[in-house]
């Protein structure tokens, strides 16, 4: 695992002049940034600013209207479907809703990617599944169905599934939404531990400021009305040194003075 | 009693508010500032709240309307006498009413609706066709041993599409066979041809009705369920989660759904035929006094084996249609609870119309081939 990661250099993900939208509606324009290997990269911004849309384009669910997304020095959207699928297997994604496959038990959810893409025996898979569930403290729930889990358990099971194929990049969409402060804190610690233990890169969408300051060491700030990124840097940097009033106000949980956020997009 | 009264003294207007202004208690009163007093002379409007009782947002809505009317008429709006909390709520509301999108004129609206419905129908058909081609490709991969389908999923879907559907398919076909025998006996009696009831029931059910009835029952029973299942999986990002790591949904989700129907429906059709003939048998032996042996003998004589094969082929076609349309509708659904219901409804409707249309096409083919 480390061997693979060591053999590649440069940023693990980079976006260049990426414009995103649905149909004729543009959500974000000309996004250019890089995600360093091993970093915890935060996509920040207000509600409806296009954070999840950006995440969807990074994991291959939404093709950008223009621009390039490069994963490990390869142009993601120019690659053939087979190469894209291979790149996709180096991603782990925790969706906002958890998105556990509802007809499968927690254990089967974690096992499915391994059954599909490895030649491991069932007993080897079972051992790995137990390990991943132990990492997120969910080993007790291995035989439960997603409908029997609480919100926090769904998130943790989703994280265990995201870890199934030992991904190079873990994408987390609002990991702490709907979690109580203690569980949310435990999730933050888990992210930091996993980063240290596996060397994986994390990309997370969040507007939980406390969690952002704890885990993220880099990031990009999207603005809805401006429809582009208006700041780059770690959440703490943005809070302390950003010259943009909108960014500083957001990161400090204040009302922006000139209130450009409140204007409707024209 | 609640209400308001407008008083004017020179350029100063005064709105006297009285009584309770509660949403659950009375209708809001729209102010007609323009019709009150001499508008040209009105310079400011103020309020008297000394007789105002309890109030909620009904009052705020009224005040907002007054403010808008006052702003439009360039009348100074003096809210100083209003309760502080009402002033605060009023301050949160925009002075200008929000711009609503103008509606297209009647004829254009009709054309727009017609066009929208046509596009929707075409894209529904397109989605179903995409599912069908995906499933065909996926079954070819299965033959080569390369499809990523889990046997457990196929067995689960097969159980739902097979054994658990036998009772409902049986009952529906039994009743149709019985009805056919009743009506047939009445009409044939006029020509003294009651003895042809077994042929009528046998040929009609084996050639047409059993496959049709089975198809319609399965469209309602399993088609709706598939569409709802896939639509809610989509809403919960479960489909996205499969796509990201490259698990082909054709193999993993759609193939078991469509294949289970294609495997079970020909068998259900044969069951259906047996039950329909059984229904006819019951009516014929009890109400027209035909002997059991004569009934069975005539049925065997009247129904050639080829008709069974024809019916079974039709059932497989119906199964492929139900599977593809239902999965297609599920995959096209928007991400909301309402969309799940709509996907199920439109899947059932499209399936039933599609089955009848397909049956007509089969009839034309048979006619042309002279079979």
Test A88 with B244 for CB contact under 8 angstroms.
yes
* pLDDT value for A173: 93
* Residue B2: band (very low, low, confident or very high) from pLDDT cuts 50, 70, 90: low
* pLDDT value for A2: 45
Interface of A with B (CB under 8 A): 56, 59-61, 84-86, 88-89, 91, 93, 95-97, 99-103, 112-113, 115-117, 161, 165
Across B261-288, average pLDDT: 94
* pLDDT value for B105: 66
Which SS3 state, helix, strand or coil, does residue B120 take? Answer: helix
Residues pairing with A43 in the sheet: A205, A220
Nearest CA in chain A to B149: A116
What is the separation, in whole angstroms, between the first and last Cα of chain B? 83
Helix (H) or strand (E) holding A92: strand A91-94
* pLDDT value for B91: 87
Test A61 with B243 for CB contact under 8 angstroms.
yes
A116 contacts on B by Cβ (under 8 Å):
148, 245, 247
Across B23-40, average pLDDT: 59
Q: For the stretch B308-345, what's the b/e string if a residue is b when 16 or more beta carbons lie within 10 angstroms of its beta carbon?
A: bebbbebbbbbbbbbbbbbbbbbbbbeeeeebbebbbe
Does A222 reside within a domain? no
Does A125 reside within a domain? yes
Nearest CA in chain B to A116: B148
Test B246 with A103 for CB contact under 8 angstroms.
no
- B3-92 architecture in CATH? 2-Layer Sandwich (3.30)
Across B107-115, average pLDDT: 84
Does A35 reside within a domain? no
Instruction: Say if residues B297 and B196 touch (Cβ distance below 8 Å).
Output: no
* pLDDT value for A261: 46
For residues A232 and A219, give the distance between their C-alpha atoms in angstroms, rounded to a whole number: 6
Does A139 reside within a domain? yes
Q: Is the model's pLDDT at B27 over the cut of 90?
A: no
Across B260-270, average pLDDT: 96
For residues A98 and A150, give the distance between their C-alpha atoms in angstroms, rounded to a whole number: 11
Test A61 with B233 for CB contact under 8 angstroms.
no
Q: Which residues contact B41 (CB under 8 A, 6 or more apart)?
A: B8, B10, B11
A-B contacts (CB, under 8 Å): 54
Beta pairing class for B76-77 and B44-55: parallel
How many Cα atoms within 13 Å fall on the side-chain side of residue A60? 30
Q: What is the full DSSP assignment across B343-354?
A: HHHHHHHHHHHH
Across B184-210, average pLDDT: 91
Distance to chain A for B353, nearest Cα, Å: 30
Nearest CA in chain B to A94: B241
Test B245 with A100 for CB contact under 8 angstroms.
no
Test B236 with A86 for CB contact under 8 angstroms.
no
B260 contacts on A by Cβ (under 8 Å):
none
Q: Is the model's pLDDT at B197 over the cut of 70?
A: yes
Across B331-350, average pLDDT: 92
For residues B82 and B278, give the distance between their C-alpha atoms in angstroms, rounded to a whole number: 81
Across B198-210, average pLDDT: 93
Distance to chain A for B175, nearest Cα, Å: 36
Does A141 reside within a domain? yes
Q: How far is CA A154 from CA A151, A174, B35, B245, B335, in A?
A: 5, 13, 61, 19, 19
pLDDT in tens, B157-174: 999 998 999 999 999 999
Percent of chain B with pLDDT over 90: 54
SS (H, E, C) A42-60: EEEECCCCCHHHHHHHHCC
* pLDDT value for B283: 93
Q: Which residues contact B144 (CB under 8 A, 6 or more apart)?
A: none
Closest by CA position to A161, among listed A108, A214, A115: A108
Q: Is the model's pLDDT at B278 over the cut of 60?
A: yes
Does A167 reside within a domain? no
> DSSP letter at B48?
E
- Give B2 or B306, the one with higher predicted confidence: B306
* pLDDT value for A84: 87
Structure tokens at B96: 């200008």
- pLDDT, block means (10 residues), chain A with 266 residues: 52 92 90 93 91 92 93 89 86 92 93 90 92 89 93 90 92 87 87 88 91 92 89 91 87 70 42
A102 contacts on B by Cβ (under 8 Å):
232-233, 236, 238
pTM, whole model, 2 decimals? Answer: 0.78
For residues B45 and B57, give the distance between their C-alpha atoms in angstroms, rounded to a whole number: 20
Beta pairing class for A218-223 and A40-45: parallel
* pLDDT value for A256: 67
Beta pairing class for B3-9 and A228-232: unpaired
For residues A72 and B205, give the distance between their C-alpha atoms in angstroms, rounded to a whole number: 63
Residues pairing with A229 in the sheet: A222
Does A241 reside within a domain? no
Domain extent at residue A136: 101-161
Test B233 with A86 for CB contact under 8 angstroms.
no
A104 contacts on B by Cβ (under 8 Å):
none
Test B247 with A88 for CB contact under 8 angstroms.
no
Interface of B with A (CB under 8 A): 148, 150, 153, 156, 232-233, 236-238, 240-247
Q: Is the model's pLDDT at B246 over the cut of 70?
A: yes
For residues B254 and B326, give the distance between their C-alpha atoms in angstroms, rounded to a whole number: 10
* Residue B111: band (very low, low, confident or very high) from pLDDT cuts 50, 70, 90: confident
Q: Is the model's pLDDT at B301 over the cut of 60?
A: yes
Across B187-210, average pLDDT: 91
Structure tokens at A11: 């940023």
Test A86 with B156 for CB contact under 8 angstroms.
no
* pLDDT value for B214: 96
Q: Which of A89, A97, A101 sits opposite B246 (nearest CB)?
A: A89
A61 contacts on B by Cβ (under 8 Å):
240, 243-244
Q: Is the model's pLDDT at B212 over the cut of 90?
A: yes
- What ipTM was assigned to the predicted interfaces of this complex? 0.84
Number of structural domains (chain A) is 1
B238 contacts on A by Cβ (under 8 Å):
99-102
* Residue B75: band (very low, low, confident or very high) from pLDDT cuts 50, 70, 90: confident
């Amino acid at each position: 695992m480390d061997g693979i990661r060591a053999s590649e250099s440069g940023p693990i993900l980079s976006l260049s002049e990426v414009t995103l939208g649905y149909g004729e509606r543009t959500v974000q324009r000309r996004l250019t940034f890089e995600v360093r290997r091993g970093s915890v990269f935060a996509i920040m911004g207000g509600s409806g600013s296009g954070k999840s849309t950006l995440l969807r384009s990074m994991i291959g669910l939404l093709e950008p209207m223009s621009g390039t997304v490069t994963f490990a020095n390869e142009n993601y959207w120019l690659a053939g479907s087979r190469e894209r699928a291979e790149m996709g297997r180096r991603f782990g994604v925790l969706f906002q809703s958890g998105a556990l496959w509802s007809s499968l038990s927690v254990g089967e959810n974690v096992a499915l990617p391994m059954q599909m893409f490895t030649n491991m025996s069932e007993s080897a898979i079972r051992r790995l599944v137990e390990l991943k569930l132990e990492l997120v403290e969910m080993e007790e729930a291995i035989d439960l169905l997603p409908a029997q889990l609480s919100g926090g358990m769904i998130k943790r099971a989703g994280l265990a599934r995201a870890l199934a194929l030992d991904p190079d990049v873990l994408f987390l969409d609002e990991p702490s939404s709907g979690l109580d402060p203690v569980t949310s804190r435990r999730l933050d610690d888990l992210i930091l531990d996993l980063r240290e233990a596996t060397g994986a890169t994390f990309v997370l969408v969040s507007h939980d400021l406390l969690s952002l300051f704890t885990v993220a060491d880099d990031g990009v700030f999207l603005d809805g009305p401006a429809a582009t990124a208006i700041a780059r840097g770690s959440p703490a940097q943005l809070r302390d040194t950003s010259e943009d009033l909108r960014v500083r106000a957001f990161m400090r949980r204040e009302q922006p003075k000139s209130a450009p956020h409140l204007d409707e997009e024209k | 009693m609640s209400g308001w009264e407008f008083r004017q003294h020179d350029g100063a207007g005064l709105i006297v508010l009285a009584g309770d202004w509660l949403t659950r208690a009375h209708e809001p009163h729209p102010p007609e500032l323009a019709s009150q007093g001499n508008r040209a002379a009105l310079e400011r409007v103020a309020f008297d709240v000394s007789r105002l009782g309890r109030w909620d947002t009904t009052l705020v809505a009224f005040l907002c309307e007054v403010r808008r009317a006052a702003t439009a008429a360039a009348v100074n709006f003096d809210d100083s006498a209003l309760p502080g909390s009402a002033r605060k709520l009023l301050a949160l509301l925009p002075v200008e009413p929000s711009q609503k999108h103008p509606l297209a004129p009647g004829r254009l609206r009709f054309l727009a609706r017609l066009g929208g419905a046509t596009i929707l129908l075409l894209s529904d058909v397109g989605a179903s066709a995409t599912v069908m081609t995906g499933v065909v490709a996926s079954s070819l991969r299965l033959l080569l041993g390369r499809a990523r389908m889990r046997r457990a999923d196929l067995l689960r879907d097969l159980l739902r599409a097979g054994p658990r559907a036998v009772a409902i398919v049986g009952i529906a076909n039994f009743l149709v066979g019985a009805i056919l025998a009743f009506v047939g006996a009445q009409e044939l009696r006029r020509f003294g041809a009651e003895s042809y009831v077994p042929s009528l029931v046998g040929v009609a059910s084996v050639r047409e009705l059993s496959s049709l009835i089975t198809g319609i029952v399965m469209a309602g029973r399993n088609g709706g369920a598939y569409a709802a299942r896939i639509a809610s999986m989509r809403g919960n990002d479960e489909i996205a989660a499969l796509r990201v790591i490259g698990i082909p949904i054709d193999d993993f989700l759609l193939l078991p759904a469509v294949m289970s129907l294609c495997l079970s429906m020909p068998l259900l059709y044969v069951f259906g035929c047996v039950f329909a003939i059984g229904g006819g048998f019951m009516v014929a032996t009890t109400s027209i006094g035909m002997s059991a042996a004569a009934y069975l003998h005539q049925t065997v004589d009247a129904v050639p084996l080829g008709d069974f094969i024809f019916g079974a082929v039709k059932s497989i076609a119906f199964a492929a249609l139900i599977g593809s349309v239902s999965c297609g509708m599920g995959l096209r659904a928007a991400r909301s609870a309402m969309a799940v219901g709509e996907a199920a409804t439109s899947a059932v409707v499209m399936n039933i119309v599609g089955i009848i249309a397909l049956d007509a096409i089969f009839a034309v083919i048979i006619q042309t081939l002279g079979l």
